[in-house]
Amino acid sequence: MENNLLALILLLPFGGACLAFALPSDRLRPWLLPLCGSLHLVLTFVVIQAGPLSAANGWLGIDPLSRLILLIISLLFCGCSFYALGYLRYRISWGNRIFVTCLLLFLFAMTLAAMARHLGILWVAVETTTVSSAPLIYYNRNRLSIEATWKYLLLGSVGIALAMLGILFVAYAGLAGGGHVSLQFDDILHGAATYSRPWLKAGFVFLLVGFGTKVGFAPLHTWKPDAYGEAPGLVGALLAGGLTSVAFLALLRTLQIMDAASEAVMAREAFLAMGLISMAFAAVFVIRQPDFKRMLAYSSVEHMGILAIGVSVGGIATFGAMFHLLNNALTKGVLFLAAGNIHRRFESKRVGDVRGAIILLPFSASLFLLGFLAITGSPPFAPFISEFTILQGIFSGGHYVTGGLFLFFLAVIFIGMGSTVLSVVFGNPPEKKGDENYRETLATTGAPLIMLLIILVLGVYLPDPVRRIFADAAALLEVRP
């Protein structure tokens, strides 16, 4: 039963990708996205209810962290898949065979990464996310999109190569410590106490830099503004909410290894440093940002930093970080999908060219404004609860300098993003008309509206079954094997 369930949730998007590539009709092909997305979400709920699972001789499995990441991936992809129906209908003349196929392969790769219990499989899955998402970034087929895709592939490949070197160092640390070489995650956790410390620490550094590049920690984030800025809105949502969550999971696996080897202090201090640096970079570059989609990229850098700080502090802040993983993903979905609608109507991402969106696109502009309030931690949205929980953990742990910097960066980013968002949403529309034929539809506004409602409800009331998902994931990171 366990093998069948895990195989099914993996084969569903892979089979859908094969069918999408073979299907000749550009009009029928996009319907595979909501079909596979909905079935994947149903299977995810079954997996969550089933508890710990293991398959393929322990190389694949489900633990509390896997359940959380699967939930994030599935919810976000399902919402984006329905949005894609309206988006691809609008751009039917462009063709969608590669786009739909790569979207489903992207879902397959993220699912595999979430289920991986072997560092080699995890590495392959993260690399597959890079390969499958690159054509999605290039979808607009212009000079800027090919430049963004090239930068994404180049920096992503460098990062993943460093991560591979880190994995080899971890394996050699086991051999140098007198044990046997194994990349299976459970074997590493059980034997980490005997691993050679110099090799293990070197491996951790390479893994942090390698997977940190995929997460988009500053100063390793330079691919993000271009990729998020040039990719279609739904692709930006999946990159900012899905890919970064999967890459952050890979970093959490390395943190578990360091905890098991009694090297938690070094690892958590490194996470804290990366988190603060990321928030600082975001605070600097979000000020007077002339491109509202690039602004969202720097917001992503900020929130990856918030997650790293929460995990580094530990305690209740770890629970806040797990909660914030979901909040960040769904709120980024709201923002990128709404930004995509605004971009198509005005045919520009420049703040100077986009004004009065609330007049021309009342639903999308409202979603963009409310998404901004949510992502900056305004009540009553769920990110306020998760960020406040992280802040509570920071101060209760005596990290007063960190807490002060945390609040300062949040304030600066709120002001910087607010200036851009208010300029886009309000005012008088520019004389440049853009695409006057573009109209908001349920397909392009329904998905971000549902995501916004979810984070609103979770900000007001957190059901106990949902709370347990975050609590179990946090507890796994606090356990010292």
Tens-place pLDDT, residues 277-308: 999 999 999 998 899 999 999 999 999 999 99
% of the chain with per-residue pLDDT over 90: 84
Q: How far apart are CA 140 and CA 210, in angstroms?
A: 28
Do the beta carbons of residue 126 and residue 246 sit within 8 Å? yes
**204: Cβ contacts below 8 Å, ≥ 6 apart:** 166, 170, 254, 257, 258, 263, 266, 267, 270
Give Cα 128 distance to the centre of its chain. Answer: 15
Q: How far apart are CA 190 and CA 185, in angstroms?
A: 9
- Extents of the domains making up the chain: 263-481
Residue 475 token pair: 């507890």
- Size of the chain, expressed as the number of residues it contains: 481
Tens-place pLDDT, residues 419-438: 999 999 998 888 777 787 88
Residue that has been written with the tokens 């996470």 in this structure: 271
Cα distances (Å, whole numbers) of residue 355 to 256, 309, 316, 359, 425: 47, 36, 41, 9, 6
> Can you name the residues that pair with 210 across neighbouring β-strands?
none
Three-class HEC string of 90-156? HCHHHCCHHHHHHHHHHHHHHHHHHHECEHHHHHHHHHHHHHHHHHHHHHHCCHHHHHHHHHHHHHH
The more confident residue out of 223 and 179 is: 223
Mean pLDDT of the chain: 93
Question: Pick from 274, 146, 149: which is nearest to 208 by CA?
Answer: 274
Confirm whether pTM is higher than 0.85.
yes
What is the DSSP code string of 327-340? Answer: HHHHHHHHHHHHHH
Residue 300 token pair: 């992503």
Cα distances (Å, whole numbers) of residue 386 to 15, 64, 182, 323, 396: 37, 18, 36, 6, 15
Q: What mean pLDDT do residues 63-75 have?
A: 96
Tens-place pLDDT, residues 212-261: 999 999 999 999 999 999 999 999 999 999 999 999 999 999 999 999 99
Q: How far apart are CA 192 and CA 365, in angstroms?
A: 51
When pLDDT is cut at 50, 70 and 90, the band that residue 400 belongs to is very high
pLDDT, position 481 = 41
